[in-house]
Amino acid sequence: MCLLQPESRSEQRASVMCVTSCAIGLGSNLGDSQRLLDLAIKSLDDHLQIEVIQVAGYYSTKPIGPPQPDYLNSAVTIATSLSPWELLMVLQSIENNSGRERQVHWGARTLDLDLLLYGCWYINTSNLQVPHPYMADRGFVLVPLAEIAGDWWCGEKLVQDLWSVVDRAGVKLECRVDTFRFV
Ligand code: AMP
């Protein structure tokens, strides 16, 4: 039986002893993408073992892969007591709740959530690779991420150094986001 009865979510979170700072990439190009990103960030923050720390702006970006609409991309930093694999499952359940269906590889999707960085961990398992294997080559990942985590390490390089050399053409800021609207 739990004898502690925390009064608030922040007290519940304060009881979490071991937290890791992580970066998540978000993307959507089907449906009301701005609302889908808003809801995804709110869902992350609603999880008792996740606290959203910073939210990057929302950027319109050109798609890679088959012909499809432009994307809206962003990134958030979080603190979490979840393991990387538990966090991946949370990301996938938020994707599924957005109505996402996995049909065409690299095809259009209502919501895509990628675990970009989990502390300084390197992970290479069958269902999870961290740092995210393609992030260093993708302007749509690095432009929002550099806004909030430029001084984070991605492997042996800083995010801002990866940002400085990546192709950023077609990545356009659409709106800044007030972090506090999610809490
Ligand atoms: P996607 O179609 O881009 O959403 O890819 C999802 C697949 O990538 C899932 O099967 C995941 O297990 C796998 N995956 C591997 N590494 C990661 C990561 N760092 N973040 C999210 N998904 C990942």
For the whole model, what pTM was predicted? 0.88
**CATH 3.30.70.560 for the 20-175 domain, yes or no:** yes
* Interval 8-28: pLDDT, tens: 566 555 555 689 999 999 999
* Interval 71-121: pLDDT, tens: 999 999 999 999 999 999 999 999 999 886 666 666 778 999 999 999 999
Calculate the average pLDDT of the chain.
88
At residue 3, the pLDDT reads: 39
CA 84, 76, 167, 36 torsion-angle sign: positive
Instruction: Give 65's contacts (C-beta < 8 A, 6+ positions apart).
Output: 104, 105, 106, 107
Cα–Cα distance, 4 to 104 (Å, whole number) = 48
Instruction: For the chain, give every domain's residue range.
Output: 20-175
Of 132, 46, 146, nearest to 93 (Cα)?
Answer: 46
Structure-token pair, residue 73:
């991309």
Mutation pick for ligand 1 pocket among 104, 128, 130, 141 (CB with most ligand atoms within 8 Å): 128
At residue 143, the pLDDT reads: 98
Distance 128 CA to ligand 1 centre (A): 6
